[in-house]
Amino acid sequence: MVAKWCSISIWRTHDSKCSAIAGAGVLVMFEEPNRSPARPEPVYSATARFFHWIVAVLVAVMAVTGIAMVYRGKDLNIWDALTNNLYSTHKAVGLMVLALVVLRLLYRIMAGSPPDEPTITPFQRIASHIVHGLLYVLLIAIPIGGWLGVSLFPALDVFGVFTIPALAAPDKALSEQVLWVHGLAAYILLGLVAMHIAAALYHYFIRGDGVLARMLPSLRREI
C-alpha cells in the first residue's frame, strides 16, 4: 500500500480522490493499493509446446516398439512380418525424433525460452536444468546410436520402402556392442522421463505452482 497526502482546498482540487472530500479544508492521508505492472507468465510458445508434445508421443511409440521387437525377435526368436514391422517402425520413429529434437534445439537457440517458474527453489532450478540437458543429449545420442548399430549389423531397410543411409561399414560384432549401449541409454532415458513426469505432477498437485502450466497453459491457476 502507498500512503498518499491530499491537500484539500475549498477553492479547487486536482485529484479525483481528494475532490470527494473537497471543502473540508483539512489535510487527509489515505492509502491506495500498489499497482505493479503485470508480469508475463512464464509459458512456452505454441511452437515449443508442439515440439515437446510430438516428441513425447514419438518417444512413447519408440519405447513400446523397441521393447516389443526385442522381446519377439531376440527373446522368443520370432522373425515374422509383425517383428519386422516393429523394427521398421522403431527405426522410422527414431529418425523422426532425431530430426525433431535438432529442430527443437535450433528453435530454442533462436527464440529462447521463458524464464524459470519463480516459485521453484534454487535446488529445483538446478536439478531441472540438469535433467533437461540430459534429456536433450539422450534424445540425440540414442537415435544416432541406433542408426549406427543398424548400419553395422546391417539392417537398414524400412518397411521395404526405403533404405537408411549407412553410417559405417558392416561389422556385426561391433553392432552388438553399439546396440547394447543403445538399449541401456534408452532405459536411462525412460528413467529420466519418469522423473520429469513425476516432478511435473508434484508441482501441479502438491505445490500448486505453474510448472506444468508452462507446457499446458490451460492448467494455469488464477491467483
Condensed to tens digits (0 to 9), the pLDDT of residues 127-141 reads 999 999 999 999 999
Please state, rounded to an integer, the average pLDDT across all residues of the chain. 86
Q: How confident is the model at residue 220 (pLDDT cuts 50, 70, 90)?
A: confident
Answer whether 85's CB lies under 8 Å from 64's CB.
Answer: no
CATH code linked to domain 46-219: 1.20.950.20
H or E element at residue 33: none
pLDDT at 38: 44
pLDDT the model gives residue 41: 59
Query: What is the 3-state secondary structure of 82-143?
Result: HHHHHHHHHHHHHHHHHHHHHHHHHHHHHHCCCCCCCCCCHHHHHHHHHHHHHHHHHHHHHH
For the full predicted model, state whether its pTM sits above 0.85: no
- In order of 15, 51, 52, 99, the CA distances from 103 in angstroms are 56, 8, 11, 6
**What is residue 219's predicted lDDT score, i.e. its pLDDT?**
86
The CATH 1.20.950.20 domain(s) of the chain lie at 46-219
Query: Residue 21 pLDDT more than 60?
Result: no
Q: What is the pLDDT of residue 42?
A: 82
Q: What is the pLDDT of residue 67?
A: 97
Task: Give the pairing type, strands 157-158 and 2-7.
Answer: unpaired
